[in-house]
Amino acid sequence: MTATNPQDLAARYIAQWTEPDATRRRTAIESLWAEDGTHILQPPAEIREIAAGLGFDHPTLRAQGYDAIETRVTRSYEQFVEKGEFTFRPGTDAVLLDGLVQFRWDTVAVGSGEVVGGGLEILVLDADGRIRTDYMFPGA
């Protein structure tokens, strides 16, 4: 496996979510992710409750491949970052263990610098050090 600095990877991963330029965002995605990489999101509690009411025990949201991941990252950027209210930053706790990278991230209010949310990320890397699978746990 390619040598990977987990904190550097965490910083580059978070940077894709805050990149305002669509071309640079796509370039970041293609450099970070395996071509058929998958982003798996644990949905917010209200969505999990609705899904449970419909008989789904463990709902997840998925985006696979560069185009789907680009759509997901772009929608997140538009919803949270573009308006200038929030940004994301990686924690300083990234660790690498046997092809897995784990780190926490914060959602930060731009005006005050206050942490208003965040989550846990677990990345499964391929032999080239690119993201094969991304498990995102907002609020964790």
Predicted confidence band of residue 114 (pLDDT cuts 50, 70, 90): very high
Query: Per the domain annotation, does 49 fall within a domain?
Result: yes
The beta-strand segments (E) located in the chain are: 33-41, 61-64, 86-90, 95-97, 100-109, 115-125, 131-138
Query: Per the domain annotation, does 122 fall within a domain?
Result: yes
**Tokens standing for residue 79:** 């919803």
Number of domains in the chain: 1
d(CA 109, CA 14): 15
**Tokens standing for residue 102:** 């784990």
Q: pLDDT by residue (tens digit) across 7-59?
A: 999 999 999 999 999 999 999 999 999 999 999 988 777 777 887 788 877 77
Three-state SS string over 26-42 comes to: HHHHHHHEEEEEEEEEC
Q: The CATH number of the domain where 124 resides is what? A: 3.10.450.50
Residue 29 domain boundaries: 6-138
Query: Per the domain annotation, does 1 fall within a domain?
Result: no
Q: What is the pLDDT of residue 90?
A: 97
Query: Per the domain annotation, does 26 fall within a domain?
Result: yes
